[in-house]
Amino acid sequence: MDELKTSFRILVSSRRLCLLLRLKRAVMSSRTSPFQHILHTNTVPTSSQCDEIRSFLHPLRPELSTLDAEIHRLQTLLDAATKERNDLHGFVAAHEALLSPMRRIPNDVLGLIFLHTLPERRNTALDASEGPLLLMRVCRYWRDLTLATPRLWASIHLVLSPHASGRLVNCLDDWLARSRAVPLSITMQTPRHFPRITPLPRSESEVNESLKTPLQTLLLASKRWQRVRLAISVAEEALTLSRLTKDDLPLLSTFDLTLSAAAEESDHNFNFLATPALRRLAFAGAYDVLPQSIQWQNLTALQLRAYHEDTPCAFPYAFLVHCTALERLALTISGNQVSVSDERVQLPRLTRLSFAFFGGDPNNGQTHALAILERLELPVLHTMDIPFTPASEDLFQMPGYANVRCLILAGMMLTADELAALLARLPQLSRLRLTGEPIVRDPINGNIPDGEFLRRLVVNPPEGDAANPPLCPALEQLELTSTRAVPDSLILAFLVSRCIPPNLSVIPQLKPLAAFSCMCYRLAQLDVRNTPELASALSNGLQLRLIYEPPPLLARYSPLEGTEREPPRPHHVVHRSRLEQSSWLHEFSPDRFFEW
């Protein structure tokens, strides 16, 4: 009843105010000012005119005060009604919250939803903005459920800090305790933007013997390690890790170890890698540090970044003959101490090979890399990744390599003619990814990107007919991850020639293009997606991904340079916001080799 009375008073007062304002407006509209000719101008009135203006405004000021008082009274009534309305709204909302379907979700279902909030392709960072630490901040009920769900705490991404080791240890203690008996997935790395951790002087180390490091804390839960990636930067950490035995790691299935030069100086063995559960291994360091006690016959994926600086070695590596179950192999060989023997190794199950070679004679580095790959017999290989080494046409004449159906190449290391000759050896190729454009070798100006290389893949009947099929007739996916010179008009011509039915009927072995992706470091020249020529192809399922990132701005001359008003200099980096959202760009990155 009180609310009705208040509302009625406001309604009556509002009507009074409206009537009063209408009356005032009528009066004001009928008023004329004797100073109309100088109103809204920059005219300076005389002293006598100033006296006349004051006399003219004197009777109007009480009316203005009356209106102000009426507005204040009504505003007071409105504020009181608004407060009562907000209180009632809050009271109703509190009761409606009890009816929320979220309250009736069972704990096991809600816990499963929580698990799907974790990062999909990496471990959870020890940060309040993600993972269980974020879920705990919602309400007490979610906090209790988060603490009671051990799988939320079994994923750990740890970035070491030389200034916050104690805090990290305390945080790790909490995470490990909350994960209970669940197998652990761990990544540990050193920061990129801080000095690397240096070992303490001997005297100070002895004083702090009782202090645990993050690695030592993790070692306490080694029996639960399942998927682990470690970056070891100092010798003390390598020695700590070497104290493990294979019995300490009964669940370890995936292990990724990166050693710095300083870490390799210690007397370590890493014999714990002999654990029979190990299936996927990544190792980056000196080749002679790699333990030979690994049960190679159990490995299904191997990523080896081996450095041969002082110890001569012959390829194929002795352990490769035992890797009969290997399905994925990534080899990065660096150094001048690698020779090639006459032996050959067959990997009967290997389907994906990534290869990079750095070292040897600069004049015949490609030949040396070819000799290394020639020692591998790969009967079921279908994916080949050559990210840094110039690919050779001769490679794909070898048995095993000629059947590649997915190829990832560093395009900027080849000319358009070399690329065309290479692709001519791969009639079964269905997916091609090029990093950068092929080049035109100019002895004066250096290598120039060749924006016309894509024309080699454009189908132009009758030039490409059944008797003379075009390059890569089975190509269904083409990805260009870093282009600058290829024009949009050529991209459109390529898409039309590979998708339009007339070409497909003239060349029976030509497969329609299913997907095209391109990362262009330039501005868009055409609206390729909305061209009429591609309307039918897009409606039939063509996946078209075009990303345009303008080149970074160059610093310009400014007369304010050297003053506090100097304009900020543009950063010579590409904006990464949209690039990070395009997962296809990172599909063949080394970090994704194990589908982490």
Average pLDDT, the chain: 84
Please choose, from the candidates 125, 123, 149, the residue with its C-alpha nearest in 3D space to the C-alpha of residue 136.
Answer: 149
The tens digit of pLDDT for each residue in 392-439 reads 888 888 888 988 999 999 988 899 999 999 999 998 999 999 998 999
Whether residue 62 is preceded by a cis peptide bond, meaning omega within 30 degrees of 0, is: no
Beta strands in 350-389 (DSSP E): 352-358, 376-377, 383-386
Burial of residue 574 (CB within 10 Å: 0-12, 13-18, 19+) is middle
Token pair for residue 234?
């100092």
Burial 57-83 (b: 16+ CB within 10 A, else e): eeeeeeeeeeeeeeeeebeeeeeeeee
pLDDT of res. 596: 43
Mean pLDDT of 448-477: 79
Tell me the per-residue pLDDT of 205-228, one tens digit each, with 9 for 90 and over: 433 444 678 999 999 999 999 999
Q: Which of 500, 573, 510, 575 is nearest to 538 (CA)?
A: 500
Identify residue 154 by its one-letter amino acid code. Answer: A
pLDDT of residue 568: 72
- Reported as half-sphere exposure (CB side, CA atoms, 13 A), residue 376 has a value of 32
Side chain identity, residue 137:
R
Q: What is the mean pLDDT of residues 485-502?
A: 88
What is the pLDDT, as a whole number, of residue 574?
A: 44
Q: Are 337 and 309 in contact (CB under 8 A)?
A: yes
pLDDT at 363 over 60: no
Compute the average pLDDT of residues 146-159. Answer: 95
Three-state SS string across 86-139, please? HHHHHHHHHHHHCCCHHHHCCHHHHHHHHHCCCCCCCCCECCCCCHHHHHCCCC
DSSP state string for 513-548: P-EEEEEESS---S-GGG-GGGHHHHHTT-EEEEEE
Q: Residue 220 to residues 244, 257, 337, 522: CA-CA distances in angstroms?
A: 10, 18, 39, 52
Using CA atoms, how far apart are residues 431 and 404, in angstroms rounded to an integer?
A: 9
The verdict on pTM exceeding 0.75 is yes
Mean pLDDT of 447-459: 90
